[in-house]
Amino acid sequence: MTKTAWVFPGQGSQKIGMGVDLAEEPIASAKYEAAEKILGWSVPEICNSEDDKVSNSLYTQPTLYVVESILADLMRDRDRQPNLVAGHSLGEYVALYVAGVFDFETGLKLVLRRAELMSTVAGGQMMALIGFNREQLEEQIEQTADVVLANDNSDAQVVISGTPEAVEAVASNIKTKRAVKLNVSGAFHSPFMAPAAAEFQTVLDGVTFADAGVPVLSNTDPTPTTNGERLKQRLSSQMTGSVRWREIMQQFSEQNIETVVEVGPGKVLSNLIKRACSGISLGQVGTLANLPE
């Protein structure tokens, strides 16, 4: 039997219209109804808004969580099951839901509070660097205060995070093929998120994490575990810690994964995996049409 991993994308993968085609499915309509009671607004309405409300962080994180959870549920309803799960940043919450660590409503409440707290942290900057010398980059980060490696996405793509001055200083002192400022409100996945993370911890403390049904690769510790308490500890440091996606991809071969399915809109993670992992087949489930028969 093919050993399969499911991966869930995070903020940046959202797009207008995502999840709207799922609404007629009974599993989806029930989840959308449950989500509206928690959020106070309709996920399909926000996703279908032509003024791109779905790209406002307060909406982006909850809508991605809901849509990706529904897609995963529809996969499981068609007798598909993962042997391993992982999510990029926000996507880790979907991975934990799919692994049975907490229920849908609990995960959504956590994501909603996470979005609210992260949106209060302003003044930072994030920048994607593509095509660079890693040794040179690490040296510059070490020598520059107030900047960290936020997303270690692959050998050729990272995101740095910190004060605008520090981010610009690092980018100007290394050679890159491309440097792109991200349209975000704060320095996510950095120590600048510490006040928000501390407040979020009080919410997290009140939630019980069950042991996972399948191993989970966490952003801050990309080694597989099913231990609920350990997964909770890893999630505690996610807001201020680096997303170690490059190391998560390395685990696929170490765990003998043969197929990776990206469950969610777009192909951001699939494209990273395609370049980094030879011999692994890829699938993508982002719409009703993509679902297996």
User: Looking at the annotation, which residues are catalytic?
Assistant: 89, 189
Residue type, 179: A
DSSP per-residue letters across 71-117: HHHHHHHTT---SEEEESTTHHHHHHHHTTSS-HHHHHHHHHHHHHH
SS (H, E, C) 227-283: CHHHHHHHHHCCCCCCECHHHHHHHHHHCCCCEEEEECCCCHHHHHHHHHCCCCEEE
> Are the C-beta atoms of 141 and 148 separated by less than 8 Å?
yes
- Contacts of range 46-49, beta carbons closer than 8 Å, 24 or more positions apart: 47/16, 47/17, 47/18, 47/19, 47/20, 48/16, 48/17, 48/20, 49/16
3-state SS string for 205-217: CCCCCCCCCCCEE
Tell how strand 147-152 and strand 176-181 pair up: unpaired
Strands of the sheet with 216-217, listed across from one edge: 216-217, 84-87, 4-8, 259-263, 281-285
